[in-house]
């Protein structure tokens, strides 16, 4: 039945045979209405792990801010790298498009305060993952060998809708994908793109 990546907290993340877990039974109980979920999978995994970029001081983003989000635009990039300013400017207009939240996974050793200052100086209010968590979650969400910078657009349950290399040039195709997946735009709105896209 395959492997599941399971987070054991301070014990680390491990690939465990699904047959050795109760994951399938829990999923079936949720599907039958016998068990309520606390939140969608990705929302539950990431809440309390983000810095609120709307605040001038380091503050955790409240769980309520993620509660009703239908999807998340995950950006894996180094805030200190050349080209980051152009990428931030290109992605900024997508903030909250159809309720989709942008999350930055910083790919550098910069401390949270420096990342926050960098984002605010650029005017890009993308909430971001705490520095001590970003590397681990990057390894969980991106396939091994994925080139950075990268983008993954996914539903609040964690189903990937759109993924690929991050650059200002892909923003029109990315916006069209957000519209289709979360805003009901017709498929003809899509532009050709070098990114991999899947149907939600």
Q: What is the pLDDT of residue 97?
A: 95
pLDDT in tens, 79-136: 999 999 999 999 999 999 999 999 999 998 789 999 999 999 999 999 999 999 999 8
| CATH (domain of 157) | 3.40.30.10
Pair (10, 69) in one structural domain: no
Q: Is 5 helix (H, G, I), strand (E, B) or coil?
A: strand
For residues 184 and 2, the model is more confident at 2
CA–CA separation, 176 and 189 (whole Å): 6
- Contact by Cβ (8 Å): 39, 105: no
What average pLDDT does range 138-152 have in this prediction? 92
Asked if residues 103 and 137 have their Cβ atoms less than 8 Å apart, the reply is: no
- Verify that 30 and 48 share a domain, yes or no: no
Q: Does 1 lie in the same domain as 84?
A: no
Q: Exposed (0-12), middle (13-18) or buried (19+): which is 184, by Cβ within 10 Å?
A: exposed
Question: Two tokens at 151?
Answer: 């983008």
Cβ proximity of 160 and 154 under 8 Å: yes
- Residue range 153-196, pLDDT digits in tens: 999 988 999 999 999 999 999 999 999 999 864 433 333 333 44
Give the range of the structural domain holding residue 109, as residue numbers without chain letter. Answer: 40-197
**CB atoms closer than 10 angstroms to residue 156:** 22
* CB within 8 Å of 138: residues ≥ 6 apart: 76, 105, 107
β-pairing verdict for 50-51 and 127-129: antiparallel
pTM over 0.85: no
User: In the prediction, which pLDDT does 11 show?
Assistant: 62
Domains identified in the chain, total number: 2
Whether 160 and 78 map to the same domain: the answer is yes
| pLDDT at residue 36 greater than cutoff 60 | no
**CB under 8 Å to 47, separation ≥6 — which residues?**
39, 61, 63, 66
Q: pLDDT at position 13, please? A: 64
DSSP 115: H
Does 177 lie in the same domain as 87? yes
Together in a domain, 51 and 105: yes
The string over 132-145, giving b where at least 16 C-beta atoms fall within 10 Å of a residue's C-beta and e elsewhere, is eebeebbeebbeee
Is pLDDT of 197 > 60?
no
Q: Given a cut of 80, is residue 26 above it in pLDDT?
A: no
Q: Is the pLDDT of residue 4 over 80?
A: no
CB 147 within 8 A of CB 166: no
In this structure, the answer to whether residues 174 and 190 fall within a common structural domain is yes
Token pair belonging to 26: 């829990």
Do 29 and 49 share a domain, yes or no?
Answer: no
Task: Let me know whether 104 and 49 are in one domain.
Answer: yes
pLDDT of residue 54: 92
């Amino acid at each position: 039945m395959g492997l599941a990546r399971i987070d054991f907290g301070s014990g680390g993340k491990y690939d465990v045979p699904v047959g050795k877990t109760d994951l399938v039974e829990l999923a079936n109980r949720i599907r039958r209405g016998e068990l309520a979920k606390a939140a969608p999978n990705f929302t539950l995994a990431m809440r309390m792990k983000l810095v609120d970029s709307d605040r001038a001081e380091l503050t955790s983003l409240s769980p309520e801010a993620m509660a009703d989000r239908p999807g998340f635009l995950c950006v894996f990039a180094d805030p200190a790298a050349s080209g980051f300013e152009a990428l931030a400017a290109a992605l900024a207009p997508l903030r909250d498009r159809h309720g989709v939240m942008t999350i930055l996974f910083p790919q550098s050793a910069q401390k949270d305060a420096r990342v926050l200052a960098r984002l605010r100086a650029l005017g890009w209010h993308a909430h971001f993952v705490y520095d001590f968590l970003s590397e681990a979650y990057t390894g969980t969400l991106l396939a091994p060998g994925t080139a950075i910078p990268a983008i993954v657009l996914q539903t609040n349950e964690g189903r990937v809708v759109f993924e690929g290399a991050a650059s200002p040039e892909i923003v029109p195709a990315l916006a069209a994908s957000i519209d289709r997946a979360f805003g009901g735009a017709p498929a003809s709105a899509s532009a050709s793109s070098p990114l991999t896209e899947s149907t939600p």
